[in-house]
A and B are shown apart, each in its own frame.
Chain A
Amino acid sequence: MIAWRKSQARAAPWFLLPALALLAVFVVWPMLRALAWSFTNADLLAPGQGRGIGLANYSDLLADPRFRRAFANTALFALLVVPVQTAAAFLLALWVNRPEPAWRWLRTAFFAPVVVSMPVLAVLWTMLYQPAQGREMGLVNALLGLVGAPPQAWLRDPSLALPAIAAMSLWQGVGLQMMVFLAGLQGVPRELVEAARIDGAGAWARLRHVILPALRNTLVFVVTVTTLLAFRLFVQPYLMTRGGPGTSTLSLIQSIYETTFVAQDLGRACAAAFLFLLLVGALALVQRRAAREERA
């Protein structure tokens, strides 16, 4: 037994090697290169000729109104999306969590937008949000008209564009979280729910005191993943508004993309990417910490 364990220990590095080598070449090395560039004024077209400029890229970015606006937009998007999407996914999961086969269709319907390519959905929703022009208007405005509300220029109005994109993103992403919650719900021991029912707990009490506590890990997972995905916002605003009107839907990723490929300012773009990495890493850590404290 001991000999077997020893041979295992000896073999382990060899089994790890291919994965570690690939990670080193395709993840660690590029990240170190990017980190080194972030302290220079390297030009994308001539990266070798950059000069070291210390932390100037970082201090510059933190003071840059455009980058700060991109951060504020992205954070606001996350604040709009994460709580609502999590709650909506949970309610949908409760609703469709039934054994009869007919409910499968509904589950599929809610999940469908997750598997459709985002650019297609972006074009589709741009049409739905079409502002009124003469008698022609998008479906959203037409529906508003049915209840007597005036049409809105959804994606063209600085105060409505980000919420409109958040609503579309929520619709697109909610199916995935719903599936995770469904899996969680089906893992709740039936005996527990039945016991609560026999003890006279109503539907609300069962939900509050039995189902939710059993789903805590699922909930933490869903909130963490939704937050990280929300901060990676890019495709929807890039295709639907190009970050406009003004900078009202400019996302962090779009600002990094533009610094890299439009301004072609490689050093600054790498610095921005590292600030983004720090931000997302910090968020993940904070949420883990919060989850652990609740469990204790």
Chain B
Amino acid sequence: MRAIAAAFNAAHAAHAAQRVRVVLTFFPDFHYTEKIAIAAAARDLPDVLDLDGPLVARFASAGLLRPLEPWFSAGELADFLPTILAQGTVDGRLYALGAFESAAVLYYDRAMLAAAGVAPPPDGRGWSWEEFLAACARLRRAGIEPVALHMNEGADEWFTYAFSPVVWSGGGHLISADGRRVRGVLASAENIRSLRRWQDLFRQGFAATDPLDPDPFGHGRVALDWSGHWMARSHAAVKGDRLGAMPLPAAGAQPVAPCGSWCWALTTAAREPALAARWLRWVTDSRHGIEPVVQANGAVPARRSAFAAFPDYARPPYRLFRDQLEHFARPRPRTPYYATLTSQFAAALRDIAHGADVAARLLTAEDEIQSVIDRREPAGGTAVPPAATGETAP
């Protein structure tokens, strides 16, 4: 990141008259979101802000972000993956663009599956939930631990990120299309059914509810790994040709993949947005911004033109990352109440994994989230124009 900023400053040093200079401020990742909220409260936001995709709606609805359309041509925007545009779009305006995307898949060890007599699905296809459970049962009978779900992740976001696709693929939603109502949406019949199927994984002992090992798949202790793109390098290094990857199992007919990443936004604190936008263009530019960042963090490039620099994307598992982002990934809901939604949904998932009654636990989460929304949106939310969250239309 420092190198990207240095290159930017060097490239712009010639324009001495304009005095464009980027000063990067790094925060420890821990409680970063709280820190930028405090900066907003103190009216001390930087001109350009890096934030997690699902939080864009909150900052945009508080009037803290500027739309980005003036600074990018339609052709440039068409170069971005559709999920990046969807993630940054609130109320029909684009407020944020990321340099990289993310993916979660079901990694598998071909040798362990073969030992249990389980056939992986054809390339690019995923399992239905029945096939997934049947595979787990066969692995268990062969004395192999079936699947790692990483329930030891400390951050709430892993739960919403990794397991919202279970809800979506089962035909349900987390929140209404306008992002202001969870009542009757979160505890819907579809979601109760989907999450009961998810709970079966723990009920039947196919996945650990309190794992200690952060990477049991890499250590050869489980056959399947419900995990993110960030494990691809180390899994490929450990497993070599034995490594396979498929889309996450679908609770309904169609698989849905998660997506989303940190992204850059232009704040209303920027007194000269045209200059600030230069940095934003630089950092989301394929050559200057995306290539160095993706080389470093191993994430999925956010622009189609950047894939040329990454030959790995012609092969699995990387090809799958791009395929699902192009075709069946869905961003997390864009609602100003995302922080409450994700923490309550994650808490509900933890309890459900430990055996809580799915319907009752989802209703409790509904109540808790809706009460936070209702305090901000008197009489049905007329205060703020309803935003499309993209929950209904991919």
Chain A interfacial positions (CB closer than 8 Å to B): 41, 43-47, 60, 64, 66, 127, 130-131, 133-134, 136, 153, 156, 239, 242-246, 258, 261-266, 268
Contacts and interface: CB of A to CB of B under 8 A. Distances in A.
- The 8 lowest CB-CB distance pairs between A and B, nearest first, are A45-B62, A156-B354, A45-B40, A261-B34, A262-B339, A263-B372, A245-B351, A133-B208
Given A44-B40, A261-B33, A263-B372, A242 B347 contact: yes
Nearest to A123: B154
B368 interface: yes
Contact of A244 (B34, B64, B211, B347): B347
A46 B37 CA distance: 10
A261 B351 contact: no
B109 to A, nearest CB: 19
Interface residues of B, number: 35
Interface in B34-84: 34, 37, 40-41, 58-59, 62-64
B37 A261 contact: yes
Contact of A245 (B62, B211, B356): B356
A258 B368 CA distance: 12
Interface string B266-294: 00000000000000000000000000000
A264 B37 contact: yes
A258 B343 contact: yes
Interface in B328-355: 337, 339-340, 343, 346-347, 350-351, 354
Q: Is the interface of B mostly helix, strand, loop or mixed?
A: helix
B375 A264 contact: no
A118 B351 CA distance: 24
B304 interface: no
Interface of B: 33-34, 37, 40-41, 58-59, 62-64, 154, 156, 205, 208-212, 337, 339-340, 343, 346-347, 350-351, 354, 356, 361, 364, 368, 371-372, 375-376
A134 B146 CA distance: 13
A45 B350 contact: no
Nearest to B369: A263
29 contacts: A41-B375, A44-B37, A45-B40, A45-B62, A46-B40, A46-B63, A46-B64, A60-B375, A130-B210, A133-B205, A133-B209, A133-B210, A134-B205, A156-B354, A239-B154, A243-B347, A245-B350, A245-B351, A246-B364, A261-B34, A261-B37, A261-B339, A262-B340, A263-B337, A263-B339, A263-B372, A263-B375, A264-B37, A268-B375
Given A44-B40, A46-B63, A156-B354, A263 B340 contact: yes
Given A45-B40, A45-B58, A246-B364, A265 B376 contact: yes
Contacts of B58: 45, 264
A45 B351 contact: no
Nearest to B367: A65
Nearest to A43: B62
Contacts of B343: 258, 262
Contacts of B339: 261-264
A45 B209 contact: no
A44 to B, nearest CB: 5
Given A243-B347, A264-B58, A265-B372, A47 B33 contact: no
Contacts of B354: 153, 156, 245
Given A45-B64, A66-B368, A262-B340, A156 B347 contact: no
A156 B376 contact: no
Nearest to B342: A262
Contacts of B356: 245-246
Nearest to B38: A44
A265 B356 CA distance: 29
Contacts of B205: 133-134
B210 A131 contact: yes
A43 B376 CA distance: 9
